[in-house]
Amino acid sequence: MLDVKNISMFFGGLAALSNVSFSVVEGEILALIGPNGAGKTTLFNVVNGFYKPSHGDIFFNGTRISNIKTHRICRLGIARTFQVVRPLQRMSVLDNVIASAFMRAADKKRAEEIAMDILQFTGLYDDRNVISKGLPLGKRKRLEIARALATQPTMLLLDESFAGLNPSELNESIDIIRKIKAKGITMMIIEHHMKVIMAISDRIIVLNYGQKIAEGTPLEIGRNPQVIEAYLGEATNA
Amino acid sequence: MLEVRNIDVFYGDVQVLWDVSFEVKEGEVLALIGANGAGKSTTLKTISGLLRPKRGEVLFEGSPIHTEDPFRLIEKGIAHVPEARRLFTEMTVEENLDMGSLKGEARKLREKNKDMVFDIFPRLGDRRRQRAGTLSGGEQQMVAIGRGLMAMPKLIMFDEPSLGLAPILVKEIFNVIKRIREEGNTVLLVEQNCKQTLGIADRAYVLETGKITLEGTCASLLNNEHVKKAYLGV
Amino acid sequence: MTAPQIEVFLQTLIAGFLLGGLYALIGIGMTLIMGVMKIINLAHGELMMVSMYIAYWLFTLFGLDPYLSVFVATPVMFFIGVGLQKFLITPVLKVDSILPENQVILTVGIGMVLSSLAMLFFKSDYRSTPVSYATSAWYLGDYWKGSPIELSLSVPWTVSFVFALAITAGLWFFLTKTDTGKSVRATSQDPQAALMMGVNVDRMRMLTFGLGSALVGAAGCLFIPIYYLYPSLGGQFTLIAFVITIIGGLGSTAGAIIGGIILGVFESMTATYIGMGWAPVGRFAVFVAALIFLPGGVASLARKRKLGK
Amino acid sequence: MKRYLPLFCLALLAVVPLVGLNSYLMHILILFVMWSVIGMSWNLLGGYCGQVSFGHAAFFGVGAYTAGILYTKTGLSAWWGLPLSIVAVTLVALVMGFIVLRLRGPYFALATLAIGEVLRVTAENLTNLTNGDVGIMIQERTWVEKIWYYYIILAVAAITFYLVRAVIQSKLGYYFVAIREDQDAAESLGINTTLYKTIALTLSAAITGMAGAFYTNYMGYIDPKVVFALHDISIVAIMVVMVGGVATFWGPVVGSIIMILMAEMIRSVPMLGTAHQTFFGALLIFIIIFLPNGIVGDFKKLRRLVGLGRPS
């Protein structure tokens, strides 16, 4: 569904991503993990069109998307959330979702219908009239997901949607992710919460220093010595 | 020397630390390890006054410092080598070092201490007039450490000094930290790089999603299966 | 080019350079404030106007030479700047509002109050300080008898230029050689890291606003012997200062000097070759071009050269 | 009740002149309505879409000069300027948008300010088109009584009010606010931010331009210093909205009342005549520090400040 081919991204002289390639298969949850500064969010920003890759190409359902603008990529069916939650602060929860629902809605009535459906789906219906600035973090993170879903994507990029949640919020969010998957939406997830990753992802890609160092099922990744080294560091006898 | 007692810390309305307590004793290297997002940097920022605990307190040499203005802590003897180095990129290497020694005794001994830093990191001596932003990642980390040492602190805190560095440089940095300790300094080291860290620390605490889940001597932690779980969740 | 044409060209160039030096001083004050506080001070020109009135009255009432009033007006302006920062700007930075541009609009309000108070007290009369050397000049012909062309150098313009140069050098010394100066620069680059180094960041911000005001105040004293003074003159200089910072690159002192000189020369050329009235249009053309083609200003060019291959 | 408030206000405003107001009071009313129009249009771009313009005088001036030049060069009635200014100002807005909309925040603000000034200087110097500083005089005035001017600008105001409201409640409005709150997030939610910012700018510009064309007809005289004025047009446009209430339907109307009344009150005291900007500036500073979202936007806070709010 998504083919990332030999992507490199330079900032100044520094390579934030070097020669990264992978594919996302329709319907799966692909997790992207790696230590701080490994280039995960940069990769999202490249897929999402915020950055143009320095080298390489990205194809989405066969269309080359590495040279088109963010809003057009969204129209093609890729939606994302942000690591730092960015709801439209002074709008109500409902209005936030309506604003994104407009992309595929013919009129306001239809946009409202879509928004209501999604609020129910994500369990935010009761908070629909709250100004989003006043929501607790767990719900704000969910609002981000709701907003992305309102653009009716076929692929969803979730950037640390679980960070900072308490255990009960975490479980609610995991349920929602499973429900989204059941709808047939493909997902790429950046996450530090290893338990979540191991529980929900079909495959995992590990980045370190901007390079892909491993790819496999959760079980394989958990045993991969290179991954363990990237995370735990190599032992020195110095 | 430093005592952190039951602190709860929030970013806005997000709680990041839950009831964290630990102690750094004079002359030791204490490590705080944990995966991404476990709250390690938050802990250091709270100690250096950039964040305020909602509950709990931080004591340095017996007196509370969590209510102090952050810019006073360096005078009290706490230096913070921040995550991602945070150099003054438009200033030269030497000016960055000057910035580390604005106050008191450190100001008087500035030139002497600079020689000491250049002795530890000869490469910086060659580049003393170069703009810090043009240095390589490893050299920048050296400047950051040097800047911390310039304050002649009683306690020096390192926040992920290995971040983004190639393994050989990581080794070099860790050797320097060892040397700093051997000269009698107290060190609080925050790291993701667990094996290497445990190799040089006396004791360690493991942070997991904002809570301290393990503590002990490094030897005991090195072989603990739970440490691996804390990182990989397997 | 014939000799008279060369003469005109060179004379225009000299005038542009002298003007540019003064502009640079105005620009440095603005860029300093922008770099450290990340706010645009649209009352900058009005602060200069206040300083010009100080110099004017010192001259009219006590016969104090405008160049000497630099030493009086500059400290006064410094404290005015500190006060503005402490009592108006700091509170606004803490207020939550829909439009983050509120602080810019606030400085517009400050400028309006200053210029209309000046109007109230001093009427809209054009004033100047009739110093004895106002029209004197040095001529090339006096020094080089056989010169094929004749060029002149206005005495007050040159003195102002030299003063501007000296003040800029003094500032440069302060920023690079003293701990406080380094702390100001550190605050502009990374306030949190500066805090960790023991810098009282809030105090640095006040100091910076004071310093920026003092610099533009000094520029005011240097302008008064060669320029008319009227209450609404500030707005135009605010814009000039802003244009210079955009050309030079935000927060870059060296950039502001180059920006000032580029602008001075450009304006002088426009005035000579297109027409007096068009000088402001030329100024804005440079401004818009810089915004579009050189978003980081001259400073970004210099940086690229150093880093890149 | 709330639904009919606009209609009620409109009816009230339509009836007011019938009680027989003197020429001066009619003038005040006309200025109030005209400034409401400008405020509403500024609010569309600045308040809702978050693009703070310091250069609305550019649109006002171009609108005014469209009417004026039509009259002097073609002999057409300056009233043709009302519809034609929309065309002229739209063109100016499109060009200007192309230049300034790639800038964000204060840079956008300052760039619009600069362009406003460029247009003023251009108008001063293109003497064969604009008569330069001499200005343009409309020789034969359409009406002597002010009442007809009043009804025309009132109609423009009513249309503007409903237009702004319709826009804000439609997809456009949602997109504008999304852009104001977070441009990157908006872009990643499929909103073509450049396109919608251009729409906001053009709409806002066209309405202000109409107000400018009206001004030419009403005052019968324009010159660059007046219609392209930075403080008396661009900044007052911001103030009307800031004082009244940013991103509220009624804010510009309330702001306009306050600004016009204040200006006239100051003018009526001879001592203070030249000082009206002191008060405007002080008011602006006060509003920004204490009521950053304006009287309508911070109404609750205002009631608390003056001690009217119930303790809660």
List chain D domain ranges. Answer: 16-244
Phi-psi map region of C198: left, alpha, beta (phi>0 left; psi -120 to 50 alpha)? left
Residue D312: the pLDDT is 39
Nearest residue on chain C to B89, alpha-carbon basis: C189
Read off the pLDDT band of D305 (50, 70, 90): low
Same domain, B2 and B71: yes
Question: Is residue A174 a contact partner of residue A189, using CB atoms and an 8 Å limit?
Answer: no
Which amino acid, C280?
P
Pick the closest to residue A79 from A52, A103, A95, A55 (CA basis): A103
Pick the closest to residue D108 from C27, C246, C213 (CA basis): C246
Whether residues B36 and A192 touch (CB distance < 8 A) is answered with yes
Same domain, B186 and B167: yes
In eight-state DSSP terms, residue D77 is: -
The dihedral over CA atoms of D300, D301, D307, D308, expressed in degrees to the nearest 10, equals: -10
Runs of H (alpha helix) within chain D:
5-15, 23-42, 56-69, 81-100, 105-125, 127-130, 147-169, 171-181, 183-188, 193-219, 224-227, 236-244, 251-268, 276-290, 294-297, 299-305
Residue B198 has, within 13 A of its CA and on its CB side, a CA count of: 24
Higher-pLDDT residue of B196, C171: C171
Residue C309: the pLDDT is 24
Q: Which of B209, B218, B224, B229 to mutate to test the interface with A (most CBs of A within 10 A)?
A: B209
User: What distances in angstroms separate CA D262 from CA B201, C119, D25, one per listed residue?
Assistant: 71, 19, 14
Residue C178: the pLDDT is 95
Per-domain boundaries in chain A: 1-76+192-238
Tell me which of B133, B152, B171 is where a domain ends: B152
Strand A203-208 to A211-216 pairing: antiparallel
pTM of structure:
0.86
Which amino acid, A10?
F
Q: Chain-wide mean pLDDT for chain A?
A: 87
Nearest residue on chain D to C242, alpha-carbon basis: D110
User: What distances in angstroms separate CA B41 from CA A192, B84, B188, B190, B210, one per listed residue?
Assistant: 15, 11, 12, 7, 11
* Residue A207 pLDDT > 50: yes
**Binding-site residues on chain A for chain C (CB distance < 8 A):** 12-13, 90
Could you tell me the two tokens for A125? 């219906």
Whether residues C280 and D46 touch (CB distance < 8 A) is answered with no
Q: What percent of chain B has pLDDT over 90?
A: 56
Could you tell me the two tokens for C244? 């210079």
CB atoms within 10 A of CB B167: 14
Tell me which of B120, B152, B184 is where a domain ends: B152
Query: How far apart (Å, rounded) are the C-alpha atoms in residues A179 and A114?
Result: 17
B42: containing domain: 1-77+154-234
Same domain, B170 and B215: yes
Neighbors of chain C by Cβ distance (3+ pairs < 8 Å): A, B, D
Query: How far apart (Å, rounded) are the C-alpha atoms in residues C88 and D289?
Result: 8
Burial state string for D120-157 with b = 16 or more CB within 10 A and e = fewer than 16: bbbbbbeeeebbeeebbebeeeeeeebbebbebbbebb
* C104 vs D106, D231, D292: nearest CB: D106
Whether residues A164 and B233 touch (CB distance < 8 A) is answered with no
- Specify the range with the lowest mean pLDDT, choosing from A195-199, C49-53, C238-242, D237-241: A195-199
* B71 vs C190, C198, C306: nearest CB: C198
Each residue's pLDDT tens digit, D171-213:
999 999 999 988 888 998 899 999 999 999 999 999 999 999 9
Same domain, B117 and B59: no
Q: What percent of chain D has pLDDT over 70?
A: 96
Same domain, B171 and B129: no
Strand partners, A58: A4
Query: How far apart (Å, rounded) are the C-alpha atoms in residues B208 and C35?
Result: 39
Strand partners, D136: D222
Question: Is residue D123 a contact partner of residue D224, using CB atoms and an 8 Å limit?
Answer: yes
Residue C51: the pLDDT is 96
Each residue's pLDDT tens digit, D14-64:
888 888 788 889 999 999 999 999 999 999 999 999 999 999 999 999 999
Question: Is residue B99 a contact partner of residue C186, using CB atoms and an 8 Å limit?
Answer: yes
Residue A236: the pLDDT is 43
CA B41 to chain centroid: 9
Longest CA–CA separation in chain D, Å: 65
DSSP class per residue in B49-99: TSS--SEEEEEETTEE-TTS-GGGHHHHTEEEE-TT----TTSBHHHHHHH
Query: How far apart (Å, rounded) are the C-alpha atoms in residues C194 and C199?
Result: 5
Burial class (CB in 10 A: 0-12, 13-18, 19+), C283: buried
- Specify the range with the lowest mean pLDDT, choosing from A89-98, A130-139, B15-24, D256-265: A130-139
Residue B234: the pLDDT is 45
Do at least 3 CB pairs under 8 Å connect C with D?
A: yes
Neighbors of chain D by Cβ distance (3+ pairs < 8 Å): A, C
Whether residues C98 and A12 touch (CB distance < 8 A) is answered with no
Domain count, chain B: 2
Pick the closest to residue B202 from B27, B40, B58 (CA basis): B27
Strand partners, B157: B80, B188
- Laid out side by side, the sheet with A211-216 consists of A78-80, A155-159, A186-190, A29-33, A203-208, A211-216
Each residue's pLDDT tens digit, D273-285:
667 788 888 999 9
ipTM: 0.82
Could you tell me the two tokens for D194? 């450049």
Each residue's pLDDT tens digit, B54-70:
999 999 999 999 999 99
Residue B142: the pLDDT is 92
Q: Which residues of C touch A12 (CB under 8 A)?
A: 307
* Residue C104 pLDDT > 90: no
User: What distances in angstroms separate CA C76 from CA C204, C218, D298, one per listed residue?
Assistant: 18, 10, 37
Query: How far apart (Å, rounded) are the C-alpha atoms in residues D195 and D212?
Result: 25
Same domain, B67 and B96: no
Residue C121: the pLDDT is 87
Residue C295: the pLDDT is 67
Strand A29-33 to A203-208 pairing: parallel
Calculate how close chain B gets to C75, using CA atoms only, in Å: 26
Question: Is residue C158 a contact partner of residue C18, using CB atoms and an 8 Å limit?
Answer: yes
Q: Which residues of C touch A131 (CB under 8 A)?
A: none
Query: How far apart (Å, rounded) are the C-alpha atoms in residues A27 and C42?
Result: 55
User: What distances in angstroms separate CA B76 from CA B23, B64, C197, D14, one per listed residue?
Assistant: 17, 11, 12, 72
- Taking each continuous run of H as one helix and of E as one strand, the counts in chain C are 14, 2
Residue C308: the pLDDT is 30
Q: How many CB pairs under 8 A join A and C?
A: 4
* Residue D117 pLDDT > 90: no
Same domain, B136 and B165: no
Could you tell me the two tokens for A152? 């009716």
Question: Is residue D205 a contact partner of residue D85, using CB atoms and an 8 Å limit?
Answer: no
Could you tell me the two tokens for A123? 């369990």
In eight-state DSSP terms, residue B36 is: T
Calculate how close chain B gets to C78, using CA atoms only, in Å: 24
Residue A39 has, within 13 A of its CA and on its CB side, a CA count of: 27
What would the CATH number be for the domain defined by A1-76+192-238? 3.40.50.300
Chain B, window 97-126: residues with a beta carbon less than 8 angstroms from a chain C beta carbon:
98-100, 102-103, 107
Query: How far apart (Å, rounded) are the C-alpha atoms in residues B191 and B34?
Result: 7
Same domain, B125 and B26: no
Calculate how close chain A gets to D248, using CA atoms only, in Å: 13
DSSP class per residue in C83-124: HHIIIIIHHHHHS--S-TTHHHHHHHHHHHHHHHHHHHHHTT
